[in-house]
Structure 1
Amino acid sequence: MELLPTTIVAGPSLLTRASALDQVVGKLRAGKVYRREDLAYVSNAVDRHLREMVSGGALKRLAQGLYYAPKKSVYGTLPPDDQELLATFLRDKDFLVFSLSSYNTLGLGTSQLYNKTLVYNHKRHGIFSFGNRQFDCRVKPRFPKTLTPEFLLVDMVNNLDELAEDRNLVLQMVVRKLPGFDQAKLKRAVSNYGSAATRKSFARWQDG
């Protein structure tokens, strides 16, 4: 008896799984950072779907429970935007991102470049790695929304021990260049953002 060729038909469960995954992938937006719970709203098997999407390249895992939908450019895959990444991680949009290298803009003779990225915020403290990036998150009661020369000057004095430059030479330059800053803004910055030691130093310099 001649045997007829057998046709394998995908069962309903296999089709349903593929369809459910496609629905989740369809919700992704390139360049966006997601928490696990963000995708749990649109997935009926979020952990399995996350594994499959990472395996298939639809998502990149940044850290435990944190994922990035890759955005492409002519140069390849772009890293997640710092603001997008940190807003998702912190569950807050009130934070300030900068580097110790920002102090170099003050014209005080500092020139070192630093890989450390500082994140002043109200929620998380510690060093966190996302992909190949590290962020030094520091809880602060107050910080400005944008960087200003006066804030950077006060913050540099706060963080003087972290600088690679000679501490005494930097302080000499601070005293010498102090009159060139907006004195009203500087006074507010010292009051709002200076540590106790920094406030004492500025009081001594400005009274002298």
Structure 2
Amino acid sequence: MKLDELKAHLKPGEVYRRADLAQWSKSVDRHIQALVESNVLQKLSQGLYYCQKKTVFGQTPPDEEILVHQFLKDDRFLLMSPNLYNTLGVGTTQLYNKRVVYNHKRHGEFMLGKRTFSFCIKPHFPKKVTKEFLLVDLVNNLENLAEDKEQVLEKVYSKREFFDVKKLERATKNYGSVRTRKLLGKLLSAESNTAYAI
């Protein structure tokens, strides 16, 4: 049976585009519908499907890195959460129910499965999140924070000794907005832990 041939190619935990599945079926839309109805595949968004993976704890959601890679058809992206700002110790405590994806191709908010991803086109971003990049990113997004912005910035300036200055200089130059470069320039050139207003 042709449907069984398609199923034989599927790997639990993998995310597929319709074009991926079409190479194994001449009636791909009918077969996809049958696989979704039988809970073999889960529709994540238009043309994007997840081969469900079962564990003793039930169905597991798709790995976010795999999901974003298939959505973009590109591995040049950085997946992060604004919740990471809370690890810097600069007074942020808000929890955000979203993932941010810095990339070169897509912009806007997309619901993939049951999760919301905010895709932002950026010319430059690192391959991995570092605390120096995180600080630069926080200052880039200062206006979007729920906390008091001046208090957060004061805490940023008081944390100078917790960062590798050279790495922070590089991150500021490579990833900071004009305003962020100006604000963090004060931190990088400061001889004391003086706070500056926004």
- TM-score interval w.r.t. the shorter chain? over 0.9
Distance 2:4 2:189 in 1: 68
- What does residue 194 of structure 1 align with? 176
1:74 aligns with 2:53: no
Query: Which has the larger Rg?
Result: 1
- What does residue 84 of structure 1 align with? 66
Structure 1: segments with no counterpart, 5+ residues: 1-18
Could you tell me the percent identity over the aligned residues?
52
Distance 1:159 1:195 in 2: 10
Distance 2:185 2:167 in 1: 14
1:168 to partner: Cα distance = 0.7
Q: Deviations over 1:72-100 (max 9, x none)?
A: 11111000000110000000111111111
1:205 to partner: Cα distance = 3.2
- Provide runs of 4+ in structure 1 moved above 3 Å: none
1:31 aligns with 2:18: no
Distance 2:133 2:189 in 1: 20
1:130 to partner: Cα distance = 1.1
Q: CA RMSD in A?
A: 0.9
Q: Secondary structure at the match of 1:43?
A: coil
Matches within 5 A, 1:138-157: 138-157=120-139
Q: Higher RCO, 1 or 2 (CA under 8 Å, sep at least 6)? A: 2
The answer as to whether partners of 2:81 and 2:100 remain within 8 angstroms in 1 is yes
Distance 2:15 2:34 in 1: 17
- What does residue 119 of structure 1 align with? 101
Q: Secondary structure at the match of 1:134?
A: strand
Distance 1:23 1:205 in 2: 61
Q: Secondary structure at the match of 2:132?
A: helix
Q: How many pairs were matched up?
A: 190
- What does residue 4 of structure 1 align with? none
1:32 to partner: Cα distance = 0.3
Structure 2: segments with no counterpart, 5+ residues: 191-198
Q: What's the TM-score once normalised by structure 2's chain length?
A: 0.93
1:179 to partner: Cα distance = 3.0
Distance 2:144 2:160 in 1: 21
1:168 aligns with 2:168: no
1:180 aligns with 2:190: no
Match of 1:108 among 87, 90, 107: 90
Distance 1:55 1:185 in 2: 51
Amino acid at match of 2:176: G
- What does residue 32 of structure 2 align with? 50
